[in-house]
Amino acid sequence: MKMRTAGIIFLFGSGVWYSGALTAASAESITTAGGAKYEHKLEMSRFELGDGVHHETEGPFERVVGEKGVFLVDKVTGATLAVRNSSLSPKPPIVPKAGDTNSSQSPTYPQPLTKNSDEHSAAVRAYLVAAGVPEAEVNGTHVTTTMAGGGPVRDGLQPSQSKLLWYTTHLERSLGGIPVEGSYAFAALDSDSNVITEGVYWPAIPASVVYKAQALEERLASPGGKAAFLATVRKAQSDVGDAAGGVKIVHTPAGYHGTFQAKAVYSVVVPSAAGGKAQIQQFDETGARVRLNDEMSKRIDSVKLK
């Protein structure tokens, strides 16, 4: 359903208000569709547990354990993680036996599906979408690599002595053209197209959050609207300065067991004035600083520890 009514956004707490009446053309580009929830199931996975499969429950976590690995389910958030058991050969004895010229044993690893990262990403995307990840919400992929190498530690990383173990492809989520941070679906496939490791956390996102994000992005597309918004942000957080940012949808993470929360925010990386670690700061449509429930609980715990 398309929204055709004009939207008016007020900036409270700064003495400034902004009337962002949407034109008919811009309203057409805003959708009220929310994000669908997907929970990965073992029966849809290519992860092999091997023999001796049994279930273990500890608090909110359920583990399906087999000879080859573990499939973990967070019963609160629906997040899943599959990990193979160690693939390394037994460590050699500290003191080699007399006459043993081959005291070290080469570790054994799964063979990668391919040495072409694009091919791996296409295969992982097809696999996870077939399992149930909403295809319309996948707007791209990125790859990380797991490598193995040798040589003295003092010599540092030596690319010539490193080899590819496997790729891990991560799906990127967006709703209504707005990137979603915090959701994930990733997998690494071996030469038999079976899973080496995988993880999924893909919660439902309310349509109202998607609408707010799109409305904020429309507003920032106007030079006047962007200038007024950033002026309000700088009043609330002066260290933001001229740092560039963008509109995103954020939500509480997979490990948070409190009330789920999703927000439309303007996210910006703020450099440290003292030369330390940069910080990501987020602001809502009024220019007020946003801290999700999990961040607030950490702040409370920090105060208690002092």
- pLDDT confidence of residue 160: 67
Average pLDDT, integer, range 259-286: 86
Q: Is 125 helix (H, G, I), strand (E, B) or coil?
A: helix
Average pLDDT, integer, range 32-41: 92
Q: Is 38 helix (H, G, I), strand (E, B) or coil?
A: strand
Tell me the C-alpha distance between 300 and 48, whole Å: 41
Lowest-confidence segment of 81-95, 111-125, 208-222 by average pLDDT: 81-95
Lowest-confidence segment of 43-52, 63-72, 141-150, 154-163 by average pLDDT: 154-163
Distance of CA 190 to the CA centre of its chain: 22
pLDDT over threshold 90, residue 256: yes
Please write the tens of the pLDDT for every residue from 221-251: 999 999 999 999 988 887 787 778 999 999 9
Tell me the C-alpha distance between 11 and 287, whole Å: 7
Q: Is 82 helix (H, G, I), strand (E, B) or coil?
A: strand
Confidence of residue 95 (pLDDT cuts 50, 70, 90): low
Tell me the C-alpha distance between 123 and 194, whole Å: 11
- pLDDT confidence of residue 97: 54
pLDDT over threshold 80, residue 306: no
Tell me the C-alpha distance between 232 and 17, whole Å: 10
Tell me the C-alpha distance between 254 and 202, whole Å: 9
CB 11 within 8 A of CB 17: yes
* Distances in whole angstroms, Cα of residue 126 to Cα of each of 121, 142, 188: 9, 14, 13
* Distances in whole angstroms, Cα of residue 195 to Cα of each of 45, 159, 185, 198, 218: 8, 26, 13, 7, 41
Angle in degrees, CA 270, 276, 282, rounded to 5:
25
Nearest to 216 by CA among 287, 137, 281: 287
Residue 94 tokens, joined: 């500290």
Please, how many CA atoms are within 13 Å of residue 69, restricted to the half-sphere of its CB? 18
- pLDDT confidence of residue 270: 83
Confidence of residue 30 (pLDDT cuts 50, 70, 90): low
Average pLDDT, integer, range 19-47: 72
Domain boundaries, the chain: 24-34+207-305, 42-90+107-201
- pLDDT confidence of residue 301: 45
Lowest-confidence segment of 17-21, 102-106, 107-111, 200-204 by average pLDDT: 17-21
Angle in degrees, CA 38, 180, 22, rounded to 5:
115
Please write the tens of the pLDDT for every residue from 161-191: 788 899 999 999 999 999 999 999 999 999 9
